[in-house]
Amino acid sequence: MAESTEIRDASLGELALAFLKLGTIAFGGPAAHLAMMEEEFVRRRRWITQAEFLDRMAAANLIPGPSSTETTIFIGQLKRGWRGLIVAGSCFLLPAAVIVSMIAWAYVRYGALPQVAGMLYAIKPVVVAIVIQALWKLSKTGVRTKFLAAIAALAVVLNLFGLGPILVLLIAGTISAAALWLKIKTKIKMNARPTAVSLAALPKFFAAALATAATAAALPFTLWRLFLSFLKIGSVIFGSGYVLLAFLQSEFVERLHWLTEKQLIDAVAVGQFTPGPVFTTATFIGYILGGWLGAIIATVGIFLPGFLLVAASGPLLPRIRRSPVISAALDGVVAGSLALMAVVTWQLGKAAIVDRMTIAIFVVCVVALLRFRVNSVWLIGAAAVAGWILQAVR
């Protein structure tokens, strides 16, 4: 019994191989990525406890940038310090960046996207099943009391009424901390405040500095301007790929006039149907505007703030957990994060489960994951092949 709960060490080589694999098969957006990470690193490899995973997932939701990518960076940092931080994040991004660059090359050469409708049709129900499996397991730790369940329910309601994710998480954390404050009926000591302020202010400070540095440049296209534009976006954006679309529209279509509406929509579509983070949309845009070098520069620009913010905030997490009130706030953020993940799952389900075939795929995958604990990699691979064959037959 003791062996089954032992946390295992991981070398840099093991980190690299694990995150390369994850980056290659991580379809479906942040919710699906987090589900696959929980299965791979908490349950199968036992590199990190479920509580540590939830803390890092919550922290990633509170800083700008792609939350799933930043969670991988947090895990790498936890296992191997700054070397692990770089290896984990880079290896998770590399497969998607290469795939998106190749698609961008085909797009520029032939003027259209590769036809992958059949594969996506079959993969999407699998992704929904994977996320449901993760929610089922994570909720046992992240929503372990009736009070946290109530916070999660409130987070769902607030999100459905139009509040942004970051505001929902701040409200969830505040309610949880305030409840503990009232329960213990003590005042927060003055020397405890810097820790709380540093957690919130440090990422904002870095984000503001990066955003300011990215504003002073000429409008005509240059690789330097491309880098600064994506650096600015990566340092201030919260939320999903749909939020990213709004930032890209404002920056590259309306202000700089470097892209057309069609090119932007195609770029976001590529980021949605390829594995890895949706933010690799930047790679596609970079290639269209500046070729292979532009793809590299755009990718570095949009993801660099995430690496810097994780490096700055990661060491604070253990200190946060030692403070009862701030730890309670983080518990609320975790519950809110799982609630937002549930909302995303519902939205994915409505878009993915549309007929008898997708219902059958979904049911089979739920049973395979929850009852027989089949590795999600096999399910995604089987669905991709089945979708490709179905498309060819049609």
Q: Is residue 68, in this structure, part of any structural domain at all?
A: yes
Q: Is 276 exposed, middle or buried (0-12, 13-18, 19+ CB in 10 A)?
A: buried
Task: Give the domain extent around 14.
Answer: 7-198+310-393
pLDDT at 348: 75
Give the residue ranges of DSSP H helices in the chain.
12-25, 30-37, 50-61, 67-110, 117-142, 146-160, 165-184, 193-213, 223-236, 241-248, 261-273, 281-313, 316-322, 324-352, 356-370, 376-393
Q: What is the mean pLDDT of each run of 10 residues along the chain (394 residues)?
A: 70 95 85 89 93 90 84 94 95 94 88 68 84 83 92 92 82 92 66 43 46 51 94 76 69 89 78 82 95 96 94 82 83 86 82 91 93 82 87 80
pLDDT at 77: 95
40 lies in a domain? yes
- Whether residue 349 is contained in a domain is answered as yes
What is the pLDDT at residue 200? 44
Report the pLDDT value the prediction gives residue 185, as an integer from 0 to 100: 62
When divided into structural domains, the chain yields a total of 1
Could you tell me if residue 366 is inside a domain? yes
pLDDT at 219: 67
pLDDT at residue 9, as a whole number:
92
Residue 120 lies in a domain: yes
The answer as to whether 254 is a domain residue is no
Whether residue 268 is contained in a domain is answered as no
